[in-house]
Structure 1
């Protein structure tokens, strides 16, 4: 029987949304990981069980099989427990994973699983706000319209596949139709004061169309403010720094895959090299 080093002891947490979205990819990922390491597989049914499994990982290296929300959830949990710095996360993306891929995680199931086994830990910067929220990829103000609301998964009793069509018909009949992108009004211009490292970049007297903040390497975030365009397109205002404060009247913001607010003031601070993600060697 093959033996594995401590680093090869994996805790594979399969997010329930991934099992619902693409069971075949989940199965392939689990097979590849189990073939290359000693893997304990957890199948949480919701956020509480997800948090419990991650908290009981012991010396095992956690691997999340799921979408961007699952990755953000894992980072947030570890951050709030003050365990993020000493825990190297790994991920096999299943579902909506644009964020994970922007961070360097391979998009293919097999390639991502092999990167978990053969890759290297990479330290990444993190944005942390004054309510202990985290941003891995990008922050947007105001948030972009939501494309739609996914229906809750419908359980089908084992051994009775003929019920699937009946359940789906009931769901279509009883559930409200998802809101489409075209039905959600785009947010209008906002009056915000944006400060970077204590210096005012734009003040409340200048309406803005959008503000974006992205953590970069070296403990610095890049900030782009797009003033309201009247006639010719306005030139974006660019800045960079370690702290970004936004003040305004009840504004909302999108942090990675989630919308938060309304708030009147929020400060984000860059934490350099705050977390580790296992990526293909050489990236």
Structure 2
């Protein structure tokens, strides 16, 4: 039978039984540039966690619940998924591990925080790239994880990643998937700031009155140029899954698929047209492209963005690229 670790994320500022506050490991925190603030409240209800633990125990699993309040505490849990030492000295995941991990998530940002630490743990330095790593990947197949959503209200709206993927939300069903289910491999977006994206990113913002703020930047998807840096851009959606497929009713991404090995990018640009009577009318032109990588070079000082729900500001070039099938979830 399996050892199962049920991981929830918190903050050192939490009171017992409270939420996770803002920033830090809980909500995704900042990347290497410190640009992402993660300023959102991430409540972590205990009832679903205890119900899932009870369901696992009833099936004979050895269960441990852990609340991690720092990256180091997340890392200590992930170390249990390591393979035996390799001759090349690299830390590598164990594909035959008898330890299984369930991440209890109040937000997609919490799930991303764990995946980011998995990538940090198992991605080899370029100078030590092993021969058994696929040529189109920078990380090995990451360990399959279970996902326990903690917000049942989001299931119907399909706003979180678990709902988009059709993952079970009932604690007993999550337990069954982890013990009896099959892995479903999913694409991962890495970026050159050292972070990862599971769902997608949306670049752009609105003023206090809700009016969109136009910005400029050069946006390339592989060899396709969606903006040369001169267009006034309303928004740019970078999609792995479909969380940012629309913006205020405007269709951006047409067919985001986290299993197709590609990133889909859409740029919305206002276009002024004249009617037959000479009146000006503004419509939005959406330019789309798919590829393995996307690069955004801001022409303005700062571009606000959301990445898996975490807020940040882009003030220099950033690139995202696809790691096809790099991570996996347990499904029933």
- Larger displacement relative to structure 2 (103-112 or 116-125): 103-112
> In structure 2, what is the equivalent of residue 162 of structure 1?
none
TM superposition score normalised by structure 2: 0.64
Higher normalized helix content (fraction of residues): 1
- Measure how far apart 1:270 and its partner are: 0.7
Q: Alpha carbons of 1:126 and 1:186: their partners in 2 closer, same or farther (altered >3 Å)? A: farther
1:233 is paired with a residue whose SS is strand
- Measure how far apart 1:57 and its partner are: 4.4
Q: 1:263 aligns with which of 306, 309, 315?
A: 315
- Measure how far apart 1:20 and its partner are: 5.5
Q: 2:228 aligns with which of 197, 200, 203?
A: 203
Unaligned runs of 5+ in 2: 11-18, 21-41, 83-96, 124-139, 241-256, 273-280
- Measure how far apart 1:184 and its partner are: 8.3
> In structure 2, what is the equivalent of residue 245 of structure 1?
295
The whole-number CA distance in structure 1 between the counterparts of 2:111 and 2:43 is: 17
> In structure 1, what is the equivalent of residue 48 of structure 2?
25
Is 1:132 aligned to 2:171, yes or no?
Answer: no
- Larger displacement relative to structure 2 (134-143 or 103-112): 103-112
CA contact (8 A) 1:94 1:109 kept: no
The C-alpha deviation readout for 1:32-84, integer Å capped at 9, x for no partner, is: 12222423313325124233222344531111122223211111100111166
The whole-number CA distance in structure 2 between the counterparts of 1:199 and 1:37 is: 53
Q: Alpha carbons of 1:246 and 1:65: their partners in 2 closer, same or farther (altered >3 Å)? A: same
Q: Cα RMSD between the aligned structures?
A: 2.6
Matches for 1:38-117 after TM superposition, within 5 Å: 38-48=61-71, 49-57=73-81, 59=97, 60-67=99-106, 68-82=108-122, 85-95=141-151, 98-117=160-179
The C-alpha deviation readout for 1:84-142, integer Å capped at 9, x for no partner, is: 62411111111367122223322333333322222210110111111221000111112
Q: Alpha carbons of 1:186 and 1:98: their partners in 2 closer, same or farther (altered >3 Å)? A: farther
The C-alpha deviation readout for 1:255-276, integer Å capped at 9, x for no partner, is: 1121233322101111111111
Q: Alpha carbons of 1:127 and 1:184: their partners in 2 closer, same or farther (altered >3 Å)? A: farther
The whole-number CA distance in structure 2 between the counterparts of 1:205 and 1:219 is: 30
1:116 is paired with a residue whose SS is helix
> In structure 2, what is the equivalent of residue 11 of structure 1?
5
> In structure 2, what is the equivalent of residue 222 of structure 1?
264
- Larger displacement relative to structure 2 (251-260 or 205-214): 251-260
Equivalent residues, number: 237
CA contact (8 A) 1:42 1:53 kept: no
The whole-number CA distance in structure 1 between the counterparts of 2:4 and 2:66 is: 14
The C-alpha deviation readout for 1:125-170, integer Å capped at 9, x for no partner, is: 1111112210001111126x7xxxxxxxxxxxxxxxxxxxxxxxxx
> In structure 1, what is the equivalent of residue 57 of structure 2?
34
Is 1:191 aligned to 2:216, yes or no?
Answer: yes
The whole-number CA distance in structure 2 between the counterparts of 1:210 and 1:14 is: 33
Unaligned runs of 5+ in 1: 146-181
